[in-house]
Chain A
């Protein structure tokens, strides 16, 4: 056996590659639907949480059913958004809010009622803040603060203000000032730009 031959290594590499790539493609094909379903389930859970309509049972099937019953996909401020429909009327909207955090971009949804007077909640679909510090914006106690905040008489577009500043309505996360400020800023900016010219399609 000569290792110097040119054909053999090329052929060998080609066969091995086809073999492995083929089996990976097969596995990918088999699990594709499951992965898509997981991602959708995650998104649905977050949107329901934004509207504070999470059902008691949080298994994927129940979530999907509740979501399909009461949520409609919309275009809000030119971005994908959602509307909460009750008794045939749209009672609240979820607006996509995005901006940069301390380490990477933060993307989330902010919910507010349909007369734009009060928030219903917030949830984040993407964030890469420090786990245990800034990452705690994704924990329930922090997000629960974003419910029922009056957004009618904000000063200079500051709908949300970190305490203890005057008019503060959100407790920042201690040890994660940068992330807390980023969240407040990106929500304020996107909310202001939407309210300046409310457009829901």
Chain B
């Protein structure tokens, strides 16, 4: 890497210009699965941001001692340890949420964002900035999840974070079902990429 990444640049990249879901298109399976309620999406996002940040931090802290050819094994071990930690925490202190998220908490481990950040960033950067990078990617994921969940929950249940907003509106059943997340995510990606292409044409985004 030519120059050292700074906190602001890393944050901006993870949240917007290099958003893991919208532009890198990784980690979308859980994004499709847990977005029918905003609260589920929020908890899932926080859990993922925590796991990504902490595993990036740990991977980066161990990077100079890890023999190169077994680094993936070490990464997977670290990631799974944090995922189990989150799972235990939810089961002990937020049993309702643990039930709602079901198997998806355990499946955080297969989320490509975490492994992607560990490989692409944490392996070559200092611990603190790696943690910031993980956090930024995690929250970038959370923002997209919340955006999708907002539309799905208000059209499917008439509520936002469980609060009744549209009591008399007809419930749109499709919004509750998984396919709606495909459509919404597709539309969101299209908008975001359109925006990016426009900005690039104007030369606003330095290459």
| Chain A residues close to B by CB (< 8 Å) | 3, 8-9, 12-13, 16-17, 20-21, 23-24, 27-28, 31, 34-35, 38-39, 42, 128, 130-133, 175
Chain A minimum-CB-distance residue to B173: A175
* Interface status of B84 (Cβ within 8 A of chain A): yes
Instruction: Select B67's contact among A3, A20, A132, beta carbons within 8 Å.
Output: A3
- Give a binary string over B49-72; 1 marks a CB under 8 Å from any A CB, 0 the rest: 000000000000010011111100
A-contacting 9-mer, from B9-17, B24-32, B87-95, B120-128: B87-95
Q: Are B68 and A3 in contact, with the CB atoms below 8 A?
A: yes
- Give a binary string over B64-82; 1 marks a CB under 8 Å from any A CB, 0 the rest: 0111111001100110010
Q: A175 CA to B170 CA in the complex, in Å? A: 13
Chain B minimum-CB-distance residue to A131: B36
Q: A13 CA to B93 CA in the complex, in Å? A: 32
> Can you list 6 A-B contacts with CB-CB less than 8 angstroms, sorted by A residue number?
A21-B81, A31-B92, A38-B92, A130-B176, A132-B36, A132-B176
Interface residue count on the B side (C-beta < 8 Å): 29
CB distance from A180 to the nearest CB of B (A): 15
Q: Are B67 and A9 in contact, with the CB atoms below 8 A?
A: yes
Q: Are A133 and B88 in contact, with the CB atoms below 8 A?
A: no
Chain A minimum-CB-distance residue to B36: A131
Q: Are A8 and B67 in contact, with the CB atoms below 8 A?
A: yes
Q: Are A132 and B156 in contact, with the CB atoms below 8 A?
A: yes
Given contact pairs A34-B93, A128-B102, A133-B177, a sample of 4 additional A-B residue pairs in the complex whose CB atoms are under 8 Å apart: A31-B91, A34-B92, A38-B92, A42-B95
Q: Which residues from chain A contact B85 at a C-beta distance below 8 Å?
A: 24, 27
Q: Are B92 and A16 in contact, with the CB atoms below 8 A?
A: no
CB distance from B30 to the nearest CB of A (A): 15
Q: A31 CA to B92 CA in the complex, in Å? A: 6
| Chain B residues close to A by CB (< 8 Å) | 36-37, 62, 65-70, 73-74, 77-78, 81, 84-85, 88-89, 91-93, 95, 102, 156-157, 171, 173, 176-177
Q: Which residues from chain A contact B173 at a C-beta distance below 8 Å?
A: 132-133, 175
Main SS class of interface, A: helix
Q: Which 7 pairs show the lowest CB-CB distances between chains A and B?
A: A132-B176, A31-B92, A20-B81, A38-B95, A9-B67, A34-B92, A9-B70
Q: A3 CA to B66 CA in the complex, in Å? A: 10
Q: A28 CA to B84 CA in the complex, in Å? A: 9
CB distance from A80 to the nearest CB of B (A): 21
CB distance from B85 to the nearest CB of A (A): 6
Q: Which residues from chain B contact A132 at a C-beta distance below 8 Å?
A: 36, 156-157, 171, 173, 176-177
A131-B176 contact, Cβ under 8 Å, with A3-B67, A27-B85: yes
Q: Which residues from chain A contact B62 at a C-beta distance below 8 Å?
A: 16
A35-B70 contact, Cβ under 8 Å, with A23-B81, A132-B176: no
A133-B95 contact, Cβ under 8 Å, with A9-B69, A24-B84, A27-B85: no
CB distance from A2 to the nearest CB of B (A): 10
Q: Which residues from chain A contact B78 at a C-beta distance below 8 Å?
A: 16, 20
Q: A31 CA to B67 CA in the complex, in Å? A: 34
